[in-house]
Amino acid sequence: MKFLVGIGSKEYSEPTLNIGSRIAKSFGADLSVVYVGPKPKQIHEGRINLVRDALANWEIYHPGIEILKWAFDYLHDSSFLEEKEEIDVFHPENMVEEKGRFRMVLPARYGQTISLILREGDIIGELRRECNQDDYTLTIIGGSKKRRMAHNLIQYIPTSVLVSENVDLSREYKVLLCVDDSEATKRAVRFGATIAQNLEMAVELLTVSKTTHFGSGYRGAARSAARYLDSKNITYNQQFLTGDPVRTFVKVAGDDHIIVMGLSTQSPLKKFFVGSKPIKTLELGNCPILVVR
Amino acid sequence: MIANLIYWITERRWLFVAFATGALLFLLPPPSGLSMAGYRTLVIVVVALVLIVFEPIPLPAVAMLILAFEVIFGIASPDMVAKSFMSDAVFFIMGSLMLAVSIVKQGLDTRLALGIIRLTGNKTWKLVAGFTTISALLSSFIGEHTVAAMLLPVALTLIHYADRDPRKVTGLTSLLLFSIAYGSTIGSIGTPSGGGRNVIMLEYWSQFGIHSITYLEWMKYAYPILLFEIPLTVLILWWTFKPEKKILDTGVRKLVVKVAKSGRMTARQILAIFVFVLIFLGWVFLSDSIGLGIVALIGVFLYLALGLVEWEDLNRNTNWGVIVLFGAAISMGFQMRQTGAAMWIAHLTVDGLSSVISNLPAIRGTVAVVLTTVLSNLMSSSATVAMIGPIVLNMGGDPVVMGFTTAISSAFGYFTVVAAPACMIVYSCGLLRAVEFVKAGWKMALMSIVVLILVSQLWWPLLR
């Protein structure tokens, strides 16, 4: 299993890196940290490359490299990486250019396999390219104020997506499993349960119907989710609520839950024009949200 | 599958916008007074403009599109397109990109650092003045991105030693980096070899049979502007960005130590400087007969033959896509003139504005400056001159004055990161925000326009 964490800056990426590395560790997954920086206009690209060569002679490196260095140190300090040998092996000269991106070659293993990658361009496009190059299960990324970003993340990233919106590292999070009769709900329940079990988080099982009548599909899905949690010995609280699903998810989640839900099965065209429950939840919510594909 | 298709479409939406606009215009009848070939050339210009500004596809692909459409739309024969594609201006752009690699690879930046520090000492304002002056003077001969590549490490080293946390010295950072960016930009107007856009204008003058301007003549027109702008740029930058440290004692000392480690000047470096002096003399004395581009290519030959640079380095660092794009843009400019499209737009603009303002010469100059400045900030200065050069030369009035006005004002792209290579280079180090370009840029643009007007009104008439 391999997870991808997208980071943007030291100031804003700490929660993303923290939550991403903890989840990766709980799954025993390999982790790739990718920094996506701005791309120079094509018309100036060659000149920028020349300048970067000149800067490297002065041991001044691409600005993204220092963010990767920060991420590497952070993962080490937060005990994601277990120090086995000399840790000071991060050297900018070890960046190799391959497949349209830069990758830091780390000469030793640190108890967990990690890749540090630098890309330039539009964040969604670059994360997509990265996902197409490797077999990732989950992409973890920080929240964004851009409304369209929520749509693009869920619509175009070809893996499950965890958006670490408004993460407070001192807070004790619970997992809010949103259950309905969609195909992806089963996978969402399994994913959410593993996170809750390994990170010792409480679980809320929530099924929301627009009317007071809960159809057999909804009831069956909720029963199946409860059975799965029972089989894993995970304690949970189950709720059946009536109302607009998205607003109810957001209200119940508040800011101290990680919302876990399955990807909508609507057609991509409909999602593009109308949106979907995960997209709207991400737009309205104020807490991390994991959309399982 | 459908999601991938939607993503592909959204990622390339500007390609569809460009094609849809082009198709729509293509189906409309040409306006009166404009030939079919001229109209179709303008359709290509519109499509190319959208593609260059928004970059939905690689730039070389835009170049291929321009050249192919010129033939397919019946604007010119394949041979004519090929002839208009390759010119001395394209040779110059190719040569200057390669010369930049050759010069930067010599490691002369440490010498330059030492020279500036010896000249300025450790006071911040003197360093800013030194960076601006050296950038301006050097870039007027060897091109702005070469100078920015050599001076950027020096400035970044000083910033690094001023404080390890760059967030604590943002004012100083902006001050030093902008002194390089704006210094290089204002310097690039000084001589034809200062930038590709100058040579593109020379090419248009020559193609249109208007006038032949020598290297020294260009300097007579443009250098006074550059000299006036140097102190004004220092004042504007000092006024806009307040440095956290007025003296950079530690930084300067550590920089001197760092430079000292690189040892004495080597024979290779001396030879590299000697070759460049030869190239410069070639530009001054031979460019009239053999062209600026050929002189630049001879320089590249000498660097390669003397083993001062490897072909692999040149090949890796030369942006061939840009060369092809400028070739295509110049070809398009040539077709704009041949088909009468440039003349038609020029008349349309001047006639439209003269109904509002009666002072025609003022309109012409203003239109040239405004159009060039706006487009430079959106695309790049060289691409702008390539596109609108033929139009302004057809606007009437003295074509030499109009050409200089356009070429010089194409350097006024101070507002955005994309306009000038030097601006993009300092931005790429990740320490500046795009909004800072606006903060200082409007003052620089205003100052530059005033200086241009003054010099063009008071000095240029004496040269005609």
B424 contacts A40? CB cut-off 8 A = yes
- Residue A149 contacts B where some CB pair is shorter than 8 Å: no
- Give the chain B residue nearest A59 (alpha carbons): B153
Contact: A155, B7; criterion CB under 8 Å: yes
pLDDT digits (tens, 9 = 90+) for B295-328: 999 999 999 999 999 999 999 889 999 999 999 9
Number of CB pairs, chain A paired with chain B, less than 8 A apart: 105
The region that residue A155 occupies, defined by phi over 0 for left and psi between -120 and 50 for alpha, beta otherwise, is: alpha
At residue B179, the pLDDT reads 97
Cα–Cα distances (Å) from B432 to A58, A143, B428, in that order, read: 20, 23, 8
Sign of the dihedral through C-alpha A123, A127, A128, A130: positive
Interface test with B, best of A42, A60, A65, A70 (most B CBs within 10 A): A42
ipTM of the predicted assembly exceeds 0.90: no
Q: Are A41 and B318 a contacting pair at CB < 8 A?
A: no
Cβ contact, residue pair B11, A41, below 8 Å: no
- Per-residue pLDDT at B39 exceeds 90: yes
Q: Which of A51, A122, A125 sits opposite B425 (nearest CB)?
A: A51
Using an 8 Å CB-CB cutoff, list chain B residues near A54.
104, 109, 149-150, 152-153
What pLDDT does residue A270 have? 76
- Chain B residue numbers with beta carbons less than 8 Å from the beta carbon of A37 are 430
Our CA angle for A68, A73, A74, nearest 5°, is 95
> Nearest CA to CA, how far is A271 from chain B (Å)?
9
CB contact under 8 A, B424 and A60: no
Q: H helices of A58-183, where? A: 63-77, 123-133, 147-156
pLDDT of residue B367: 82
CB contact under 8 A, B6 and A155: yes
> What was the pLDDT predicted at A83?
64
Residues of B with CB under 8 A from a CB of A: 2-3, 6-7, 11, 52, 55, 58-59, 97, 100-101, 104, 107, 109, 145, 148-150, 152-153, 156-157, 160, 258, 316-319, 321-322, 325, 379-380, 383, 417-418, 421, 424-425, 428-431
Query: Looking at chain A, how many residues does it have?
Result: 293
Backbone angles phi, psi at B428, to 5 degrees: -65, -15
A146 Cβ contact partners less than 8 Å away, ≥ 6 residues apart: none
- Classify A127 as helix, strand or coil: helix
pTM of the predicted protein model: 0.86
Interface of A with B in 16-45 (CB under 8 A): 37, 40-45
Per residue of chain A (293 residues), what is the pLDDT tens digit?
Answer: 899 999 988 878 888 999 899 888 888 888 999 999 888 888 888 888 889 888 888 888 888 888 999 998 888 888 777 765 555 677 888 888 888 889 888 766 655 678 899 999 988 999 999 998 888 999 999 877 666 777 888 888 999 999 988 888 888 899 999 998 888 899 999 999 999 998 889 999 999 998 888 888 889 999 999 999 999 999 999 999 999 999 999 999 998 999 999 987 777 777 777 778 888 898 888 899 999 98
- The partner residue sitting opposite A156, judged by closest CB among B7, B109, B148, is B7
> How close B380 comes to chain A (CA, Å)?
8
Tell me the C-alpha distance between B44 and B418, whole Å: 23
Q: Which residues of A touch B381 (CB under 8 A)?
A: none
Neighbouring residues of A10: CB distance < 8 A, sequence distance ≥ 6: A67, A70
Residues listed for chain B: 464
User: If DSSP codes are grouped into helix, strand and coil, which group holds residue A237?
Assistant: strand
What is the per-residue pLDDT for A108?
61
SS3 (DSSP) at B202: helix
Token pair 């030869």 is found at B278
Distance between CA B239 and CA B447 in Å, rounded? 13
Q: What is the mean pLDDT of residues B49-76?
A: 94
Instruction: Verify whether the Cβ–Cβ distance A267 to B425 is below 8 Å.
Output: no
Cα B118 from Cα A56, distance rounded (Å): 24
Residues from chain B that touch A156, judged by Cβ atoms under 8 A, are: 3, 7
Residue B155: pLDDT over 90: yes
A50 touches chain B (CB under 8 A): yes
Residue A107 CB: number of other CB atoms within 10 A?
Answer: 10
Question: What is the residue whose two structure tokens read 């603009």?
Answer: B349
From chain A, pick out residues whose CB is under 8 angstroms from the CB of B145: 44, 47, 50-51
Torsion of CA A39, A40, A46, A50, to 10 degrees: -90
Task: Tell me the pLDDT tens digit for each residue of B257-294.
Answer: 888 877 788 999 999 999 999 999 999 999 888 999 99
How close is the nearest chain B Cα to the Cα of A8, in Å? 12
B189 in Cβ contact with B411 (< 8 Å): yes
CA dist A206 to A32, A191, A282, B146, B183, Å? Answer: 32, 15, 17, 62, 62
CA distance A282 to A279: 5
Q: Residue A165: its pLDDT value, please?
A: 85
- Residue A274: predicted pLDDT: 72
CA distances from B380 to A53, B181, B211 (A): 23, 15, 26
Backbone angles phi, psi at A80, to 5 degrees: -65, -40
Please give, rounded to a whole number of angstroms, the shortest distance from the CA of A165 to a CA of chain B: 24
Structure tokens that stand for B54 in this block: 């928004």
Angle at B392 (CA atoms; ends B389, B394), nearest 5 degrees: 110
Contact B107 A43 (CB under 8 A): no
